[in-house]
Chains A and B, each alone.
Chain A
Amino acid sequence: MWNSFRTDSHQAMQCEITTYKAGNGDYIHAYVARPGGDGPFPGLVVIHHMPGWDEFYLEFSRRFAQHGYTVIAPDLYCRAGHGTPDDVAAKVRAEGGVPDDQVVADCEAALHWLKSLPTSNGKVGVLGTCSGGRHAMLVAGRVRGFDAVIDFWGGGVVASPEQLTAKRPVPVIDYTKDLTCPVLGIFGNDDQNPPPAQVDQHEAELKKHGKQYEFHRYDGAGHGFFYYHAPAYRQQQAMDAWGKVFAFLDKNLKG
């Protein structure tokens, strides 16, 4: 089981909110979780979901650190001001979200931040849930240097012309041809965004361009089925998917 550590193993991590030089030279907040020890450790850029840079994402980051990954989780909403995560997310929502170009720049800077660490093994993945899943695919398509990407139920990877805006001018699926790293997709078959038909489209595009990928699609699960604080949580599907996640990351980032 992915969550069965040895009782005589070394378990330590260091976590803090810090600032780093992100897109446009702006200094923004990031939650950093580092495994204890000298490494070398692979890195992960963890992209928060639409509800914001919240409690769940700090815990999510710590889980990866506990499994030997140095995590940086940028606060993509940092420029909107500060308050409780839901208040800040509401402000960003009213502003139409954060621009794709800004997200790409923030995450590219996070990639370089991870690779510059003396404990880095040189490999870095990018992942996120919900809007963060879409952002992860966006970033992996546009930035060179990632070694793995995980899309957790990212809504809006497939977008119709009328869904495009000045902040999201290009459908993320259009960057599929540019991917240079393996893809893991985790989806619930009861999800409405992305619905199974869009996941089919996404998968067809990956196949068309000969990309290395694996999609796992769960019956009896909808959007956000890892969210143990919400009714969406599905224990069996989440536990299985976590196993797939660590198998994928360990293979591509620790090898």
Chain B
Amino acid sequence: MCTNICLTAGITGSGKGAAGWFPVSQANVGYDHPTHAPFEHALLLDFVNPLLGPGARVAVEMNLASGKALLAKLEAAIAEAEASGVAE
């Protein structure tokens, strides 16, 4: 690894990967060299299920500005959901 920045969180949900839907149990958030996005470094978001092997992965690569925009909307959506009274 080059930056060695990678944080993980346990999550509960599902993701749709190359082979269809699968249960995801972990989110990995890194900042390192992307595979496809045209940047030297990028935020690397992986939703994975380690029990199902390396291919059980939904991946997104984005720049920092995109990550901040996503984070703001994620927080806003969570706040709205909790305020709605229907949050699980």
- Is B28 close to A, CB under 8 A? yes
Taking CB atoms, residues of chain A closer than 8 Å to B44 are 90, 93
Give how many B residues have a beta carbon under 8 Å from the other chain's beta carbons: 25
Taking CB atoms, residues of chain A closer than 8 Å to B20 are none
How close is B27's CB to chain A, nearest CB, in angstroms? 10
Interface class of chain A by DSSP? loop
How many A-B pairs have beta carbons closer than 8 Å: the answer is 81
- In this complex, what residue of A is CB-closest to B8? A94
Interface residues on A, range: 20 to 34
Taking Cβ atoms with an 8 Å cutoff, the residues of B that contact A are: 1-4, 6, 8, 26, 28, 30, 32-33, 35, 38-41, 44, 46, 48, 50, 53-55, 57, 59
Taking CB atoms, residues of chain A closer than 8 Å to B26 are 94
Query: Do the beta carbons of B59 and A90 come within 8 Å of each other?
Result: yes
Taking CB atoms, residues of chain A closer than 8 Å to B59 are 86-87, 90
Identify A131's interface contact among B1, B6, B54, CB under 8 A: B1
Cβ contacts A224-255/B at 8 Å (1 or 0 each): 10000011100000000000000000000000
Q: How far is the CA of A71 from the CA of B40 in the complex (A)?
A: 28
Taking CB atoms, residues of chain A closer than 8 Å to B32 are 50, 93
Identify A87's interface contact among B6, B8, B41, B54, CB under 8 A: B54
